Structures are given as C-alpha cells and as structure tokens.
Amino acid sequence: MKRINIVGFIDFHREEWDIRPSMVEKTRQAFHDSELWTYKDLCACTEKQLLKIRHVTPELVEHVKETLEDVGLHLGMTEKELDAYHDAEYDARHQSVESKRISEEDIAENEAKEATSFADTDGMQKKETEPLQETEAKYKEEFDARKAYNHAMARILCDSCQMLRGDDLEFMRHQLVMSVLEQQSWLMKTFCSFNYRVKVALQKANYIMQEYRHDMGLRSTVYQHLEYDGKIKELEA
C-alpha cells in the first residue's frame, strides 16, 4: 500500500480532487484559515467539519476521502492513530532489527543450552566412566597381584630336588663355610687356630645344609602332591 508523509503540506493541485484552477488558491486559503495545513491536520478533521469550510463541496470531500483511503488514511482519525501511521515505517524498521537481535539472542541462548546440555551429558558420562575405569583398574591391579602371587607360589613350591644337582649343594656348602669364617668374632680370629676355626665353620655349615635339605624334601613332597592334584598348573595359568 502506498503511503504519504502526513506532516507534508496538502497538495491542492491533485488531479483526482478535480478543483477548478481558479478555486485552487481560494480553497488553499480557506483550509489555512481553518488551520488545515498538512495531511495530518486534514485527517484529524471530520467530514462535517470539512464541509463547513468555504469552497468545500461534497464532491471535493468524496475525492479527499478516496485519496486518503488509497494511502491508508481516513477523516476523523485520532491523535493516536495518526502517530501510529506516522511511526509505522520507523517501528517496522526497528522491529526488524529487534527481531533480528532477539533471534540472535535466541540462537545464542539455544547454543548455550546445547553446550550446557552437552557438558552435563559429557560430565555424566565421565562420572559414569570414571568409576568404571577405576573399578577396571582396581580389578586389573588385583588380578595382576594375584597372578604374580600365584606364579611366586608356584616357583616357591617347585620341586627343588629336581632343580639342584649334587655339585650345586657342595658349592652352597663351601660358600656357607667361607661366610661363617668371615663372620667369626675378632676374639676367635685372634686367639684360635685356623684349623679350629674351619672345624667350627664346617659344623655350622653342615647344620645349615641339613636344615636346608630337610626343607627341600618337604617342599618337594608338597610340590608332588600339588602337581598330582593339578594345582600347580592352576597357579601357573
């Protein structure tokens, strides 16, 4: 719809008003005498008020009404209606900007909500995953410890008699004698002969080796029983 500037001066040369040329200036002066200068003043005037003005005919009033209707106006408009018409373009322009701003705010708000929702979901997933990972790590640690313990037990319970040879035992006996000699007190080293010291060392080494052989025998017996029952394979698995 075409619009006009309602604060602009009234154009009395409009062809659609069909005013006789000799009456244009007279009609203009009559309008001015009635304080009708602009289209806003004209729209605020009622049809009856307009007909009371000099040189205004019913035909001219009809032409005026048609002209005003073509641009969205009419006679007898209130101040509020005229202001609304005058500010329409301004409001439309700013409403567009405001709508765009609101739209951008809505988009930003939605993105923030989505980010928050994603963060919450991610946080929940992390909270759910962390205990699971901790549990898995705990079980793995326990499993590794148990596995290491079982292998250690299998090594401890292994048949030592099968692993040692006679010369190995003799070498261990010789090492024990040398260790005992080295650890004898300074008093014995000072006042006792070397032969006596060796004899004492041999006695202690023989006692230790006897206890060691006894322990080896027990371990071998236990190992053979466990191996027969299949327990050793379970520990080594």
DSSP states along 157-210: TS-HHHH--HHHHHHHHHHHHHHHHHHS-HHHHHHS-HHHHHHHHHHHHHHHHH
Measured distance CA(90)–CA(74) in Å, rounded: 21
Q: What is the pLDDT of residue 60?
A: 92
CA-nearest of 211, 206, 210 to 177 is 206
- Global model pTM greater than 0.75: no
Domain definitions of the chain by residue range: 15-86, 157-236
102/107 Cα distance (integer angstroms): 8
* The residue type at 226: L
Residues 197 and 184: beta-carbon distance below 8 Å: yes
With a CB cutoff of 8 Å and minimum separation 6, the contacts of 206 are 173
Fold of 15-86: DNA polymerase; domain 1 (1.10.150)
Over the stretch 96-120, which tens digit does the pLDDT of each residue have?
Answer: 655 666 666 666 676 767 666 655 5
46-86 per-position pLDDT tens digit: 999 999 999 999 999 999 999 999 999 999 999 999 999 98
Instruction: Supply the Cα-derived Rg of the chain in whole angstroms.
Output: 59
CA distance 4 to 43: 12
Mean of the pLDDT values across residues 159-163? Answer: 53
Question: What's the pLDDT tens digit per position in 173-230?
Answer: 888 888 888 888 888 888 889 899 898 889 988 888 888 777 777 776 766 666 666 6
Check residue 237 and give its pLDDT.
Answer: 60
